Structure 1
Amino acid sequence: MGLDRAATKPHEQLAQHLANDLESVNALIRQRMASRHAPRIPEVTAHLVEAGGKRLRPMLTLASADLCGYGGAFHVHLAATVEFIHTATLLHDDVVDESQQRRGRPTANLLWDNKSSVLVGDYLFARAFQLMVEPGNLRVLDILSNAAAVIAEGEVLQLSAARDLKTDENVYLQVVRGKTAALFSAATEVGGVIAQAPEEQVKALFDYGDALGIAFQIVDDLLDYQGDSSATGKNVGDDFRERKLTLPVIKAIAAADEDERAFWKRTIEKGDQRDSDLEHALDLLNRHGALEATRQDALGWSAKAKAAMQALPEHPVRQMLIELADYVVARVS
């Protein structure tokens, strides 16, 4: 999901504030993605890691540690861990989804092959586990290793739920918590843990990351049906064409009559799509207020993220994180 078109850019403010730490994270990533024996590993990794991503997830770890007054060096290791986990999941996701583009560039599986993408992703997961062990903090290890398991679980759940009309909002939320929010909440939580922040603050950081990640994904799903393709990097209706049951469609199906349900069954479950089907799908989403209801859900999760920040101390980073929660939903506000 891009974050480029809103008026202000709090992730850029965060990047400036954390510039020295981010440079240390980037240096550690370059060092640990090296391989003496398999040069394809740094080739594939560099293609994705250096593709212009905003490093949002590792920034959340650095920001949380800074917010809680951490003065050590291991927040850099944890931020690099988070980025390696994220990159590994992207490599695997592009194989599963048979994707050909990411961030406007050809995917690694297209430039190399599926085997290389899967195996390099596995390598990055292994590197992530090496990094997360180095601070010598069992709780940090528990949080990040659990997040890796939840991410994989969410992806597998999505395989069975994505084209099943019985998928409801609770299952959708479970998928989103797995595929997106789990790494956001782990990234923020470990920043507080490594700083030995009070439990109330660690819980607030987890809640912030969880709500931010959910809002982030809901906005992404909403913009698939009403976004500007030049801004999102996706064509309107890509999720529909790929038969993905995202929140707007789930809401429309819940309100559907018999004929409408038959339409969704034909297009999503069976994959029998015709030229005018996307237009009809958009009509149904608007008819039942599904897009507006989805927008309200995104704004609600953003509000929960901002509310969680009230438990954290006064700090410039706290305000940046509050503004980031607004920014994630700015394009649908």
Structure 2
Amino acid sequence: MFSYALGGFALRRFRKCEAVLELSPNLDKNSNKSQLNASLTPLMDIVADDLKDTNQIILDRMHSDVELIPVLARHLIAAGGKRLRPVLTLGAAKLCGYEGDRAKKLAACVEFIHTATLLHDDVVDESDLRRGNETANAVWGNQASVLVGDFLFSRSFQLMVEDGSLEVLRVLSNASAVIAEGEVLQLMNVGDINVTEESYFEVIAAKTAALFAAATRVGAVVANRPENEVDALEEFGMNLGIAFQLIDDALDYSAEQQSLGKTIGDDFREGKVTMPVLLAYRAGDEEEKAFWTRVIEQEQNDGDLDEAMRLIEKHQTIRGTFDTALKYGDMAKANLGLFADGPEKAALISAVDFAIERAY
């Protein structure tokens, strides 16, 4: 079974990437935009009926006699998004031939965990916008956002218990703990230009990819599939989640960010060292390194974001980040090699391309 334990696993997996691709001759190591077939539509179509039921479960379980709780939770859930994580749970279950109801509740559980982490993250990051809408903490304040996030975590654990599987409880509760570890590790890394590539990958594997991995694993668990298939789907989710976060980090320095309803440079202003900055710092001369040290560790002045983006463009680190995401995407596709070709497998592969092509 794949281990969520922190300790360099994400970076080690990347260093094994070329070997993995050599074992997968049908994958082109020189993937580019023309080779991507990016759409969630095939996967959304396959899980449409189940997702409708999952959405109803989400609405039902958001209910509380404390009026602010459903109002605040609905504000975030209704703000948009593709429901990618619960869709992956439902898609993984479909790939494994499962047609029951358990996957629907567990998909709702995954969405509650994700939504709770968003509420907490926006408080920690002091964010005012998410997908072009005001964040819950901007509207109702930090205290309400944190407490409603706690409520949604509690709802997720109620759904786990109702499922009755200790394996499901173990997978999802473990993922919840690892997400929190990842967020704390990221907080520790803020304002430190000497963050290592290994530490960076630990953060994104924990804070983002762990939930992707748990979402796809439980889809196989409910289908009672053999352990090698369960592990393969977990690996698929982990690699997809890492690719997804790499693209998010690239978009923070891209004009595409504005089309997503976010401001450019949020990570920069918060002193977060992500892949585009890591690569730019590594490639920079002494003057450029001094610039990065000042803006990450000391102070930022007017015009510093423009200079940061100039250096990122100079060293093509958005392209470098995207290329790394492509490699993780190719590994995710390779993880599906155990499964027979069919519409479910093709839809999951298309979802990988969708997660990456957001960079264009």
Residue number in structure 2 paired with 1:292: 319
Residue number in structure 2 paired with 1:274: 301
**Structure 1 vs Structure 2: percent identity of aligned residues?**
52
Tell me the TM-score normalised to structure 2 length. Answer: 0.86
How far off its partner does 1:88 sit? 0.4
How far off its partner does 1:267 sit? 0.5
Tell me the TM-score normalised to structure 1 length. Answer: 0.93
Separation in structure 2 between the aligned mates of residue 47 and residue 151 of structure 1, nearest angstrom: 23
Residue number in structure 1 paired with 2:233: 205
Contact 2:232-2:336 within 8 A present in 1 as well:
yes
How far off its partner does 1:203 sit? 1.1
How far off its partner does 1:296 sit? 1.1
Question: Cα deviations across residues 146-173 of structure 1 (Å, max 9, x unaligned)?
Answer: 0000000000001011221121111111
Matched AA of 2:115: T
Residue number in structure 2 paired with 1:223: 251
4+ long deviations beyond 3 Å: 286-289
Residue number in structure 2 paired with 1:13: 42
Contact 2:113-2:176 within 8 A present in 1 as well:
yes
Residue number in structure 1 paired with 2:224: 196
Separation in structure 2 between the aligned mates of residue 229 and residue 191 of structure 1, nearest angstrom: 31
Contact 1:92-1:118 within 8 A present in 2 as well:
yes
Question: Cα deviations across residues 77-110 of structure 1 (Å, max 9, x unaligned)?
Answer: 1101000000100111111111111121111111
Residue number in structure 1 paired with 2:133: 105
Residue number in structure 2 paired with 1:233: 261
SS in 1 for 2:252: helix
Separation in structure 2 between the aligned mates of residue 211 and residue 31 of structure 1, nearest angstrom: 32
Residue number in structure 1 paired with 2:73: 45
Moved more, 64-73 or 248-257: 248-257
Matched AA of 1:245: V
Question: Cα deviations across residues 305-329 of structure 1 (Å, max 9, x unaligned)?
Answer: 1111111222311101111111222
SS in 2 for 1:63: helix
Matched AA of 1:313: A
Residue number in structure 1 paired with 2:87: 59
Separation in structure 1 between the aligned mates of residue 280 and residue 343 of structure 2, nearest angstrom: 41
Q: Confirm whether residue 76 of structure 1 aligns to residue 104 of structure 2.
A: yes
Residue number in structure 2 paired with 1:4: none
Residue number in structure 2 paired with 1:117: 145
Q: Confirm whether residue 30 of structure 1 aligns to residue 59 of structure 2.
A: yes
Question: Cα deviations across residues 215-273 of structure 1 (Å, max 9, x unaligned)?
Answer: 11111111222332442322333322232211110122223333222211111111x22
Matched AA of 2:176: A
Structure 1 residue runs of 5 or longer lacking an equivalent are 1-6
Residue number in structure 2 paired with 1:243: 271
What RMSD, in angstroms, separates the aligned Cα atoms of the two structures? 1.8
Q: How many residues align?
A: 326
Question: Cα deviations across residues 195-232 of structure 1 (Å, max 9, x unaligned)?
Answer: 01111211111111111111111111112223324423
Residue number in structure 1 paired with 2:21: none
Matched AA of 2:64: S
Separation in structure 2 between the aligned mates of residue 329 and residue 11 of structure 1, nearest angstrom: 12
Q: Confirm whether residue 169 of structure 1 aligns to residue 197 of structure 2.
A: yes
Contact 2:191-2:271 within 8 A present in 1 as well:
yes
Separation in structure 2 between the aligned mates of residue 219 and residue 145 of structure 1, nearest angstrom: 26
Residue number in structure 2 paired with 1:160: 188
Matched AA of 1:328: A
Separation in structure 2 between the aligned mates of residue 52 and residue 292 of structure 1, nearest angstrom: 28
SS in 2 for 1:10: coil
Q: Which has the higher contact order (CA 8 A, sep 6+)?
A: 2
How far off its partner does 1:20 sit? 1.2
Q: Confirm whether residue 307 of structure 1 aligns to residue 329 of structure 2.
A: no
Separation in structure 1 between the aligned mates of residue 356 and residue 83 of structure 2, nearest angstrom: 18
Out of 194, 206, 215, the position equivalent to 1:178 is: 206
SS in 1 for 2:271: coil
How far off its partner does 1:8 sit? 6.2
Matched AA of 1:209: G
Matched AA of 1:25: T
Matched AA of 1:251: L
Residue number in structure 2 paired with 1:324: 351
